[in-house]
Amino acid sequence: MADTEHTQFKIAYTIARADMQHLFTALHARGYETIGPTVRDGVVVYDVVENVDELPAGWADEQEGGYYRLHPGNDGALFGYTTGPQAWKRYLFPPIMRMWQARRSDNGFEIVVEERTPPIYAFIGVRACELHAIQIQDRVFLDGPYVDAEYKRRRDNAFIVAVNCGRASGTCFCVSMGTGPAAGPGYDLALTEIVDQDTHCFIVDVGSEQGASILLDVPHRPATRAETERAAAIVEATAAHMGRTLETTGLKELLYRNFDHPQWDALAERCLTCGNCTLVCPTCFCHTLEDVTDLTGQTAERWRKADSCFNLSFSFISSGSVRASARSRYRQWMTHKLATWVDQFGTFGCVGCGRCITWCPVGIDITAAAATLREDDIGQPQVEPIHQMA
Ligand code: SF4
Ligand code: SF4
């Protein structure tokens, strides 16, 4: 894990495409399990990637509201796609995990605490928005009064190879959220891929001592001025071609004063309350706890499972579900992302990755929903959000 007080190393280096396997070898030699992008079932997923040849070479995605297609290209770029449906949270905050067991004993029962060997992950291909999403989850799981021990172990061990984006998808809006497309502090190494007619290489920024140490085992040379300028131009061009925009000025207040906007009814007519948007979102972390027993009654277990604020059961209390309607659940999700999250954690809960737009089966678009509120601000007086339920 890169130092929080990150020092930007000013010298950039160049790794030839032909030498990229050495990066994997260097990480494996230090005990890292390399997790990266690979193509499966027509999408880019994150999985164990042992070899550079398993990366999605030549694949590029096309994304719009409710639409994702991968197309083979001929440039051979290893990171020519943008983002897939999965986020790194599945490795740092597993969607299903046993917390502890209880076994019946002569005197009652005894708690068996889970003892796991924490995985040592190297994440390869972390985009700028995703790095911000990880740091937002750090605030939730590490910076509050209660630290999530399992998240901390996984996060402390993680080595991050970021990739600056060479293109934006139709649903990206990281520029609006100030989270990309250039990776900010928090990486160990950051790559910018250059694919030209006669060149295929990676310009590398070193973000930590661990990154510098790994780089020693990968053939590299100082980048030329032309290479660093080309890398900067690639990222600038990406920033200029965002698929979406979201105006964030006064956004929190805009949402707070529009709890009764008619748009919530219109969105509710479309929303299937499927929860896809929360599953794919790299910052969403809602979960539930389930207790189960075996048939003999000798053992009980407590499991943590990913949940969604779109599930009726998520807000169930003694008298029923607090948010019974699709209207209240969509409004809750969007208001949390763009308003109450700011009050809770000092940042938006959205990094502009666009996943919730792409993977919404009916193409509901958080940027369009925010724009509608801004265009038709009914300006009701601010109320305390915690009391807004139905
Ligand atoms: S906004 Fe879209 S993805 Fe989210 S719950 Fe509604 S239909 Fe599903
Ligand atoms: S709310 Fe949507 S665009 Fe924002 S981080 Fe989550 S999935 Fe990405």
**CA 359 to ligand 1 centroid distance, Å:** 8
**CA 332 to ligand 1 centroid distance, Å:** 12
- Which ligand 1 atom is at minimum distance from the Cα of 308? 5
Query: By alpha-carbon position, which residue is closest to atom 3 of ligand 1?
Result: 360
Query: By alpha-carbon position, which residue is closest to atom 6 of ligand 2?
Result: 281
Check whether residue 164 and residue 303 sit in a common domain.
no
**CA 95 to ligand 2 centroid distance, Å:** 18
pLDDT tens for the chain, 390 residues long, are 444 334 444 689 999 999 999 999 999 999 999 999 999 999 999 999 999 999 999 999 999 999 999 999 779 999 999 999 999 999 999 999 999 999 999 989 999 988 889 899 999 999 999 999 999 999 999 998 999 999 999 999 999 999 999 999 999 999 999 999 999 999 999 999 999 988 999 999 999 999 999 999 999 999 999 999 999 999 999 999 999 999 999 999 999 999 999 999 999 999 999 999 999 999 999 999 999 999 998 999 999 999 999 999 999 888 888 899 999 999 999 999 999 999 999 999 999 999 999 999 999 999 999 999 999 999 865 555 554 444
Check whether residue 96 and residue 207 sit in a common domain.
yes
Check whether residue 257 and residue 121 sit in a common domain.
no
Check whether residue 145 and residue 281 sit in a common domain.
no
Check whether residue 105 and residue 52 sit in a common domain.
yes
Domain annotation covers residue 108? yes
Crossing angle of helices 366-375 and 263-270, rounded to 10°: 160
Q: Which residues sit opposite 289 in a β-bridge?
A: 304
Query: What's the sign of the alpha-carbon dihedral 87, 328, 141, 303?
Result: negative
Check whether residue 192 and residue 324 sit in a common domain.
no
Number of domains in the chain: 2
**CA 133 to ligand 2 centroid distance, Å:** 9
Boundary residue ending a domain (239, 259, 292): 239
For residues 273 and 277, give the distance between their C-alpha atoms in angstroms, rounded to a whole number: 9
Task: Give the number of whichever ligand sits closest to the CA of residue 280.
Answer: 2
Domain annotation covers residue 7? no
Boundary residue ending a domain (215, 239, 263): 239
Check whether residue 231 and residue 267 sit in a common domain.
no
Domain annotation covers residue 5? no
- Which ligand 1 atom is at minimum distance from the Cα of 278? 4
Write out the two tokens for 195. 């694919």
Q: Does residue 180 line the site of ligand 2, with CB under 6 A?
A: no
User: Where do we find the tokens 């193409």?
Assistant: 363
Burial class (CB within 10 angstroms; exposed 0-12, middle 13-18, buried 19+) of 336: buried
Domain annotation covers residue 246? no
3-class DSSP assignment, residue 99: strand
Check whether residue 39 and residue 176 sit in a common domain.
yes
Check whether residue 348 and residue 301 sit in a common domain.
yes
Q: Does residue 242 line the site of ligand 2, with CB under 6 A?
A: no
Domain annotation covers residue 234? yes
Give, for ligand 2, the residue of 351, 357, 359, 365 to mutate: max count of ligand atoms closer than 8 Å to Cβ.
Answer: 351
Domain annotation covers residue 223? yes
Write out the two tokens for 300. 């009980």
3-class DSSP assignment, residue 48: strand
Q: Does residue 280 line the site of ligand 2, with CB under 6 A?
A: yes
State the pLDDT at residue 384: 53
52, 24 Cβ separation under 8 angstroms: yes
Q: Does residue 218 line the site of ligand 2, with CB under 6 A?
A: no
Ligand 1 pocket (Cβ < 6 Å) reads: 271-277, 310, 330, 360-362, 364
User: Where do we find the tokens 């990880």?
Assistant: 134
State the pLDDT at residue 318: 85
Check whether residue 311 and residue 362 sit in a common domain.
yes
Check whether residue 182 and residue 326 sit in a common domain.
no
Domain annotation covers residue 193? yes
- Which ligand 2 atom is at minimum distance from the Cα of 177? 4
State the pLDDT at residue 132: 98
Domain annotation covers residue 366? yes
E strands within the chain? 13-16, 33-40, 43-48, 59-64, 67-72, 96-105, 108-113, 121-126, 159-163, 189-195, 200-206, 221-222, 287-293, 299-306, 316-317, 320-321
Query: By alpha-carbon position, which residue is closest to atom 7 of ligand 2?
Result: 281
State the pLDDT at residue 382: 56
Write the CB contacts of 149 (distance below 8 Å, at least 6 apart in sequence): none
Check whether residue 261 and residue 311 sit in a common domain.
yes
DSSP 49: -
Q: Does residue 136 line the site of ligand 2, with CB under 6 A?
A: no
Boundary residue ending a domain (192, 208, 239): 239
List the domain range (segments joined by +) for residue 169: 13-239
